[in-house]
Structure 1
Amino acid sequence: MSDHAFATRAIHAGQDPDPRTGAIIPPIYQASTHVQDGIGGFREGYEYNRAGNPTRSSLETQLAALDGGASALSFASGLAAEDALLRGILKPGDHILLGNDVYGGTYRLLTKVLSKWGIETTTVELSDVDALRAAIRPETKVVWLETPSNPLLKVVDIALISEVAHAAGATVVVDNTFASPALQQPLALGADAVVYSTTKYLGGHSDVLGGAVVFQDDRFFDDVKFQQFAVGAVSAPLDAWLTTRGIKTLALRMRQHSENAQAIAEWASARPEFTQVYYPGLETHPGHAIAAKQMSGFGGMLSLGLADGADAARAFAESTSLFQLAESLGGVESLIGYPPDMTHASVRGTELAVPENIVRLSVGVEDVRDLIADLQEGLERSSR
């Protein structure tokens, strides 16, 4: 499938019709175990659902094709994917360099869980290459970045960071959840592995939880696969099937998410209620040029800084209707959140603490005129 366009791969990779019945959609193998043809005689390699399942295998083939990777693994959640990847490639005493704006759950995993296993984490401004070089140590094994980042939409140069990290012998991992593979291909830019919360844009319909790791080559696959098997946080058959179904419309959805978010960012930029609009599609965004170089669209996520501070941000987040107050992102419906008390509560009081005056928008695929009207009405309600 590597010679086909992205939208074609999203629909056809790993999705051969059922050979027995000709069903155009592969069946859901809702089974916990597989009959063996004698002891150790596994049919097509399947023995037990934790070790492997045909529906999950189809999704993993699809995921690898989306990013142009050698292989992929599917997990029960994005954090399960991150945990298995890191435990698979690190050992006690290793060091991670982490961008200074990331999902709060990633920071919590590193500093509250893996730190007890002897992994040390340092945050760094990854757009400053000199700061990155200065922060790399002999024991630095991973440089971990999000671009665009959560929730401040920072953009960093994946190719440049990969060059610097590889020169120091470090592995580059990109959390590509905000962009999705429809808009950004980190492996083609030099990254070694890509992680996703497939709950978000890949699933796309707020009805399934999942995560994934896609690998540039097979260096780490066996070790991470062992973690997947030994710890067992795998995606269930129905979850894998729902994710596969969502992926088939990913290219279409991401175009509409991006178009709607661009319009809202431009509208918000003209409003006095907002002192800051965090969206890489705006030419005023400090990472706009890099985003335009390494992305095919700017995505459906943006954050807004309220001029009147934290109280105004909280009130605004609770005053919209179409933008529903909820955590998560990437579904067809629009969501609004207050990161300091929601998605990023775990980084309060740390170097990753987010501004108290921001709200985060996950812009859906509704008619953008309705979305802008809803935000306008939310401003009016919250100022009364």
Structure 2
Amino acid sequence: MNMTDLLHPVAGPRPGGTPVVTPVYQTSTYDLPRTPEAAQIAGAVAPVGYYTRYGSPNAAEAEAMLAALDGAERALLVGSGMAAISAALLSNLRAGARVVAQTAHYTAALTLLRDVLPAYGVEVSLVPQESLPSAAASGADVVYAETPSNPAMTLTDLAAVRAAAPGALLIVDNTFATPYNTRPLSLGADLVVQSATKYLNGHSDVTAGVVTGRAELVERAWETARVLGPVCHPFEAWLLARGLRTFPLRMARHNAAGQAVAEALAAHPRVRAVHYPGLPTHPQHDLARRQMTGFGGMLSFTVDSPAAALRVLQSTRLARNAVSLGGLETLITHPASLIFSHGGTSDSVDASLLRVSVGLEEPSDIIADLVQALSA
């Protein structure tokens, strides 16, 4: 067999219709026209047929869906939620800039804020979540918020932050709430970042992140991502687009199941507190009702002691002890046991607290599993 024939097979036209689902463009590069148009393609923002680090047809399809969900002018798909956070922040910061952010954030985001950015001359002020509006009012180039926060399920009043710092760039991590329950751009945010690994994909089989917002800001983030290289590859983007097609159906179920599980736990004698914005006992329930249209599938609860928390963790049969969230299956974690490996401190999280990502199983089965674990 001639090697050239193997490398350049000839496949003629075949009968048939157009694919209903976009194929996976599993290629790293594209044969360009031998005309000046090639230079135009190479110079475009996120070209779909140039080089996969720049963009792909699969990424472009997912980005169109994600922009529509957030009510954004444009979206950028990258390889993880942290890649989205990094691209959004790094594309808008220079030495001497000041960032105001919460003390309660996803652990890797805290590392970026606390260690990485200051090493490059960026001033970062970390304040309690409830103090973010007043701290932002004291002067900030960028305000970075996460709502609800992980794992305490505390809310940030986004409208209040926007009013307090009208001249600052407001970036919001909306991973827990998702655009189904909160649309930060309508509350004054300039950019929204999300881990698409979680609810947006919803099947625990993709790692991806997204930045949405005004076109010029997203294009700036794309340039940063182009240089740093956190690619969302075509198959990952294809899987994400597949997951997004059932996103509203899944989120309605997560909302209903989350509320049912939270109410059941709140009534259990061995549970000291349940942290869920949909409960009237949540200290920010009124804010949640104003800012959110649903309350999601994430909750945390505290039991009598760290030892009791570990017994519950070891006793669940349906809920799996796994990090991440937003998938079809219910997951349970003990954050205090995990936080040390990510730069946390012993007082960062109550050791009696457990976090639950409520899945799509029958709510009664999830509740029964947690109840039997509490009785172990």
Q: TM-score, normalised by structure 2?
A: 0.90
Map 1:263-274 onto structure 2 (within 5 A): 263-274=260-271
Q: C-alpha deviations, 1:193-220, integer Å up to 9, x for none?
A: 10000000001000010001001x2342
Amino acid at match of 1:176: N
Q: C-alpha deviations, 1:332-369, integer Å up to 9, x for none?
A: 10000011122575353288x12121000000010011
In 1, distance between residues paired with 2:368 and 2:239?
32
In 1, distance between residues paired with 2:135 and 2:276?
29
In 2, distance between residues paired with 1:288 and 1:78?
27
Counterparts in 2 of 1:54 and 1:134: CA distance versus 1, 3 Å: closer
Partner of 2:6: none
Moved more, 109-118 or 340-349: 340-349
CA contact (8 A) 1:103 1:344 kept: no
Secondary structure at 1:305 match in 2: strand
Partner of 1:7: none
1:100 aligns with 2:100: no
Deviation at 1:275, TM superposition (A): 1.1
Amino acid at match of 2:358: V
* Match among 223, 247, 251 for residue 220 of structure 2: 223
Partner of 2:277: 280
Aligned residues: 354
Deviation at 1:39, TM superposition (A): 6.0
Ranges in structure 1 where 5+ consecutive residues have no aligned partner: 1-19
Partner of 1:306: 303
Partner of 1:174: 172
Secondary structure at 1:331 match in 2: coil
Q: C-alpha deviations, 1:131-166, integer Å up to 9, x for none?
A: 63246554x211111111110001122112112121
Counterparts in 2 of 1:66 and 1:337: CA distance versus 1, 3 Å: same
Counterparts in 2 of 1:347 and 1:267: CA distance versus 1, 3 Å: farther
Percent identical among aligned pairs is 40
Amino acid at match of 1:360: R
Secondary structure at 1:195 match in 2: strand
1:357 aligns with 2:358: no
Map 1:109-188 onto structure 2 (within 5 A): 109-128=112-131, 132-134=133-135, 136-138=137-139, 140-166=140-166, 169-188=167-186
Superposition RMSD in Å: 1.9
Secondary structure at 1:26 match in 2: coil
Q: C-alpha deviations, 1:241-271, integer Å up to 9, x for none?
A: 1111111111111111111111111111111
* Match among 22, 25, 28 for residue 29 of structure 1: 25
Q: TM-score, normalised by structure 1?
A: 0.88
Q: C-alpha deviations, 1:30-80, integer Å up to 9, x for none?
A: 110011111653396431111121111111111111100010100100001
Amino acid at match of 1:41: E
Ranges in structure 2 where 5+ consecutive residues have no aligned partner: 1-15, 42-46
Counterparts in 2 of 1:134 and 1:27: CA distance versus 1, 3 Å: closer
CA contact (8 A) 1:159 1:189 kept: yes
Secondary structure at 2:99 match in 1: strand
1:239 aligns with 2:236: yes
Amino acid at match of 1:339: P
1:325 aligns with 2:328: no
CA contact (8 A) 1:324 1:335 kept: yes
1:209 aligns with 2:222: no
In 1, distance between residues paired with 2:217 and 2:306?
43
Deviation at 1:121, TM superposition (A): 2.0
In 1, distance between residues paired with 2:288 and 2:135?
25
In 1, distance between residues paired with 2:36 and 2:222?
19
In 1, distance between residues paired with 2:200 and 2:278?
21
Amino acid at match of 1:35: D
In 1, distance between residues paired with 2:19 and 2:98?
49
Deviation at 1:21, TM superposition (A): 4.1
Map 1:287-298 onto structure 2 (within 5 A): 287-298=284-295
In 1, distance between residues paired with 2:120 and 2:113?
10
* Match among 362, 365, 373 for residue 367 of structure 1: 362
In 1, distance between residues paired with 2:159 and 2:20?
39
Q: C-alpha deviations, 1:180-237, integer Å up to 9, x for none?
A: 111111101111110000000001000010001001x234233211111111102000
Moved more, 38-47 or 295-304: 38-47
Counterparts in 2 of 1:114 and 1:134: CA distance versus 1, 3 Å: closer
Counterparts in 2 of 1:30 and 1:289: CA distance versus 1, 3 Å: same
